[in-house]
A = this chain, B = another copy of it.
Amino acid sequence: MYDEDRTFLAIPGPVEIHPRVYAAMNKHLYGHRTSFFREIYKQCDEKFRQTINTKNPIQFHAGSGSLGLHTSITNFVQAEDHVLNLVNGKFGERVEKITSRFTRNSHSLKVPYGHGITADMVKQEFEKNADIKFVTITHNETSTGVLNPLEEISKVVHDHGALLMADCITSAGGDLVEMDNWNIDIFVSGSQKCYGLPPGLAFIALSQAADERLNEVPRNNDFYSDLLQFREGVKKGDTPFTPPVSLFYGLNETLDIIHEEGMDKRIQRHRTMGMLYRNAIEAMGLELFAQPEFRSNTVTTAKVPDNVDSSKLSKVMLELGIMIAGGQGTMKGKIFRIGHMNLVGPRELLMIVAALEIALKKAGANISLSSGVSTIQQYLADQ
């Protein structure tokens, strides 16, 4: 009944995309070494800065979010550098893998999946190892639905004179990220999550400290990711390599849509949708996976109930035209994940939850139909 071309994406990215963004991307291509493109680039830069409250220029890298992570590390980490990775999920583990390629002194603070990392834990790491000069953190850990306290952790990192690289791939553009106020040195995000674009663009911004550090660090061999080249690009208002022009058309449009809603309202919407979905999950009698004080507002993880076949759950959801995500790695079959990013509002949430109840029941769960959806309805009816 639902073909792949109109499956509703309730996975934690890629997400549903606004029709205006599709329309914008359909615009005829144009040469990128032109004043026409530089004007679009300039607008994207200015509008993007407002989404993370920064004065720093934004670099646009043609590639996935993982390119952004790789680039942030290869440009700053040398073979003897002591790096601390804050790891509580698959995406933190990915960063850990990248840093360990560049230094033999890659350390990791690990907490169990579903747990958050606190500023105190980070402080203790610095007390154990005063040589740490570079810290990586996954702000919103998409694999576990955990939102780490970035602002507090950043204070500790800077109290100890280190640089902080923050993977904000599934937080920025939806939840609150304050690059300057929180003192993030290297900000990384991607196009296909809260920014509501197809995959293909990574966003990087550097604090003044990080930018200065670039002059001191010897260059790696990496050519495509060499941030010095991007710094030159930013000065001219374009990119060192051919940019994905259509994605820039789409970025300019999605940033307009974001600012028409207003970042404050947008963040509030993401938080409300997260709250409503979590309440619905608990009303169904299911258990949330992440620790209560660290729950993400853009992706929610819930435990697969006993006797429920998680692959059946996903299959029935897909038959109902909605794609959800399962657990990754060791979490496979144990949790399922829903993304509520970008355009997800009450209408989508009602649909997702109503379908989820059917799918859970058909996959073997002992739940009452409408138990979750009615909590969302009640909240909305009371508004």
Contacts and interface: CB of A to CB of B under 8 A. Distances in A.
A322 interface: yes
Contacts of A376: 354
B5 A347 contact: no
Contact of A347 (B345, B351, B381): B351
A2 B345 contact: yes
Contact of A370 (B3, B321, B355, B377): B377
A320 B8 CA distance: 18
Given A6-B18, A361-B381, A350 B347 contact: no
Interface string A1-15: 111011010000000
Chain A interface: which size bin? 35 or more
Nearest to A348: B351
A167 interface: no
Contacts of A343: 6
A320 B348 CA distance: 10
A87 to B, nearest CB: 36
A347 B8 contact: yes
Contacts of A362: 381
Contacts of A358: 377, 380-381
A347 B1 CA distance: 10
18 contacts: A1-B261, A1-B269, A2-B345, A2-B347, A5-B19, A6-B18, A26-B26, A320-B380, A346-B355, A347-B355, A350-B351, A351-B351, A354-B354, A358-B380, A361-B381, A369-B377, A370-B374, A373-B373
